[in-house]
Structure 1
Amino acid sequence: MSHFQYNIHHQDPATAARRGVFTTPHGRVQTPGFMPVGTQATVKGLTIDQVAATGAEMILGNTYHLALRPGHETVRRLGGLHGMTLWQGPILTDSGGFQIFSLEGIREVSEQQATFRSHIDGAIIQLTPEHSIEIQESLGSDVAMVLDHVVALPAEPDAVVDAMERSIRWAKRCLNAATRDDQARFAIVQGGLDAKLRAECATELSSLAFEGFAIGGLSVGEPPEEMYRITAATCPHLPTDKPRYLMGVGTPIDLLENIARGIDLFDCVMPTRNGRNAMAFTDRGQIKIRNAVHREDTRPLDPDCHCVACRHSRGYLRHLFIAKEMLGPILLSIHNLTYYQRIMAEARAAIELGRFSEYVAKKKKGWLSQPTTNAETRG
């Protein structure tokens, strides 16, 4: 597929970290890279220009939510996601597979499809692999994810095997249903916390004509060390010349640990969700801006950050949250997204210099005094 290409420019000598470029019809994405989550065709609280100003090159939308409202045909008539949102860069759309996990109480899964009862009006929605691709083709994203079966962890071995094997069959159905040559398809590796199952799934999917590969079903309740173990066990079984995407991850530490194991792309709502809840990421750990200690603090959130939020004092930012002014969540969301993009840029530079391990050690020294809770939260 001439519209898509992945080139690796540097390989870190001490880890599996890769420095590359993913080329799409709407532009190039520098990797390792982080995609802000725009579940319902918006990164919550921010204009598209504000998102771009953080350094983001690719954003994410969601098949399930956009199919419910405004409806994928409406999105198509409004010019697809690019025309509707005015985002000029690449867009990736999730398939609805994550909702099989997150909306477990209002869905049923059969071999043919996932059936949901809408959380909006109770209507029945049937999502087959073929329909998921049809919706994503209407949305016009650059990358369409296959529909997969995500299970909560820990799970019974039989349930993990069943979901993995179904995910492989559904991936093949998605590939067969695709009609657009300007839209890449990414397969999703499942297999729970079983390294052998992950290797089996990755090997099977790698034999198919996908433009990229994702690792799904992690950051759903397992300890971070288990996630790292499975990522390390999976990446060697994926093609070296195609991008690798770890879905729904995660904290800054998670990003660097998984880059070291061979991951190229990430997404997570954590920067914006935590920002809306008055928490800022910095090199010196998390700052909970509502705390009274910041009431008359004239310092910026992060002296090394040049985002618009860091032009203000911590005292002013705290005031915005205490007064329930909408500007507070907007500014902290901008800061957190800018911080995540800065981590990615610094990681890319460290890989180019062959000093990625040193970079990770330096960052962790500042972060580990206030660790965050790991959770996949894509929407």
Structure 2
Amino acid sequence: MLKFELLNNDTATENYAGTHARRGELTLNHGVVQTPIFMPVGTYGTVKGVTPSSLEDMGAQIILGNTFHLWMRPGLDVMESFGGLHQFEKWDKPILTDSGGFQVWSLGEMRKITEEGVKFSSPVNGDKLFLTPEISMQIQTTLNSDIVMQFDECTPYISVEPKTKGQLTTEAEARTSMELSLRWAKRCQAEFTKLENPNALFGIVQGGMFENLRQESLDQLVEMDFPGYAVGGVSVGEPKDEMRRIMAHTPHRLPAHKPRYLMGVGTPEDLVEGVAQGVDMFDCVMPTRNARNGTFFTRYGDLKIRNARHKTDHQPLDVTCTCYACAGNSGVSYDQGGRSGFSRAYLHHLDRCGEMLGPMLASIHNLHYYLNLMREVRESLDVGGFGAMVARFKADRARGV
């Protein structure tokens, strides 16, 4: 089941050009999601270092699971015994699972792609495996994810073909990849229907850095009438300007009455820009990955806790933040007179000592920041203030910590 209701658009006024930003509500089998939304990534059935209750407290409405890795471990027999991923990881809200295509892409020369599917050796135990569009649909049906992604080939920015390896992917190579993904999309749709999966299947627009190929992919996927659409093949090593060029071209051309998902993106600035280009849904490992490396996202810019200047700093990470790391149990931001949470000095100490609590608190803070940013975006769209919100966001982030 999927129902998408468009609630509001960012419209132009006499003094404001307007954008493609929109406010929506997405109803799935396990709950309702307010969009635009950021989706925390739970690769192995867990968002690293964060409990399900903490995710709920910070406002997470939908999270991701990884088809490829859950197929490897714990395996479909275990997943089937729990009736799917929700009960296994104790998350009762919606889940989106990727198809495994990106993980196969990341194997590089360790995999062999044919029309039928992809052959590769398991990174877990070396077993010879074969992943096809049909098998991807079967795995995701067992996982019972609310949103299922088609199996696709992620077109690389840098070619891996023997004759052009190390060079920019050519238009001909991107076309071959895009057309393969389209054929796989049809097979995914047929298998998804055959399995009588009650959830929703999204098609994925590919085409590399070529707008004409993106448009061809989009047009053919729209003809297949998927319940929702994603833009894939970005944030795969291309320069930021190239990614933003595709962001500016593709999302707003997708059907207005269906949800739009930009895969694997990105920084806070990328999310705000993506919303302006008409994107409804985002995911990225950046909040938790950067947290484990001591980098915090804050309203006033990024903070690297390993810098020596934080050793004696009594301030919280972000005086405006109400996450547990910044505000403790009070849930009241520092500058509102509430009890602050942990100091920068303490977080610096945890990082230097390699204590587990350090990346846990960092992950809580970063995810809270991303989810709160999307809440502020939604609230601005509700009242027709998106342009002003974006201006404040940019000014605050440029101020620095």
Q: Does residue 102 of structure 2 align to residue 98 of structure 1?
A: yes
Instruction: Map 1:55-204 to 2 at 5 A.
Output: 55-153=59-157, 154-178=168-192, 179-204=195-220
Give the Å deviation of 1:165.
0.3
From the superposition, tell whether residues 343 and 133 of structure 1 become closer, same or farther in structure 2 (CA, over 3 Å).
same
Q: For 1:207, what is the secondary structure of its paired residue?
A: helix
Tell me if structure 1 keeps the 8 A contact 2:37–2:374.
yes
Q: For 2:224, what is the secondary structure of its paired residue?
A: coil
Q: Deviations over 1:238-273 (max 9, x none)?
A: 111110000000000000001100000000000001
Q: Deviations over 1:30-57 (max 9, x none)?
A: 1000000001101111211122222110
Q: Deviations over 1:303-328 (max 9, x none)?
A: 11111111111111111111111000
Q: Find 1:343's aligned residue among 373, 380, 385.
A: 373
Q: Deviations over 1:137-171 (max 9, x none)?
A: 00110011000001210312111001100001000
Tell me if structure 2 keeps the 8 A contact 1:280–1:287.
yes
Give the Å deviation of 1:280.
0.5
Q: Please give the alpha-carbon distance, in whole angstroms, between the structure 2 residues aligned to 1:256 and 1:355.
A: 14
Q: Please give the alpha-carbon distance, in whole angstroms, between the structure 1 residues aligned to 2:248 and 2:354.
A: 43
Residue identity matched to 1:312: F
Paired residue for 1:22?
26
Q: For 1:149, what is the secondary structure of its paired residue?
A: coil
Tell me if structure 2 keeps the 8 A contact 1:29–1:57.
yes
Q: TM-score, normalised by structure 2?
A: 0.90
Paired residue for 1:273?
289
Q: Does residue 39 of structure 2 align to residue 35 of structure 1?
A: yes
Give the Å deviation of 1:290.
1.4
Q: Find 2:357's aligned residue among 298, 323, 327.
A: 327
Q: Deviations over 1:10-34 (max 9, x none)?
A: 1001000010011001001110000
RMSD: 1.4
Tell me if structure 1 keeps the 8 A contact 2:83–2:142.
no
Q: Please give the alpha-carbon distance, in whole angstroms, between the structure 2 residues aligned to 1:209 and 1:107.
A: 31
Q: Find 2:254's aligned residue among 231, 234, 238.
A: 238
Greater RCO, CA 8 A, separation 6+: 1
Q: TM-score, normalised by structure 1?
A: 0.95
Q: Please give the alpha-carbon distance, in whole angstroms, between the structure 1 residues aligned to 2:196 and 2:387.
A: 40
Q: Deviations over 1:174-215 (max 9, x none)?
A: 000012342100000000111111011101101113111000
Structure possessing the higher radius of gyration over alpha carbons: 2
Give the Å deviation of 1:368.
4.3
Give ranges in structure 2 of 5+ residues lacking alignment: 12-17, 158-167, 327-340
Q: Please give the alpha-carbon distance, in whole angstroms, between the structure 1 residues aligned to 2:260 and 2:66.
A: 19
Q: For 1:280, what is the secondary structure of its paired residue?
A: strand
Tell me if structure 2 keeps the 8 A contact 1:149–1:164.
yes
Paired residue for 2:222?
206
Give the Å deviation of 1:301.
0.4
Give the Å deviation of 1:103.
1.2
Q: Deviations over 1:336-370 (max 9, x none)?
A: 00000010000111112222122112212233477
Q: Deviations over 1:50-87 (max 9, x none)?
A: 22222110000111111111112311112310010110
Q: Please give the alpha-carbon distance, in whole angstroms, between the structure 2 residues aligned to 1:94 and 1:316.
A: 37
Paired residue for 2:5?
7
Paired residue for 2:14?
none
Residue identity matched to 1:84: F
Percent identity of equivalent pairs: 49
Q: Please give the alpha-carbon distance, in whole angstroms, between the structure 2 residues aligned to 1:237 and 1:16.
A: 10
Q: Please give the alpha-carbon distance, in whole angstroms, between the structure 2 residues aligned to 1:352 and 1:225.
A: 30
Q: Does residue 316 of structure 2 align to residue 300 of structure 1?
A: yes
Give the Å deviation of 1:227.
1.6
Question: Deviation above 4 Å: which 4+ runs of structure 1?
Answer: none
From the superposition, tell whether residues 123 and 304 of structure 1 become closer, same or farther in structure 2 (CA, over 3 Å).
same
Tell me if structure 1 keeps the 8 A contact 2:201–2:227.
yes
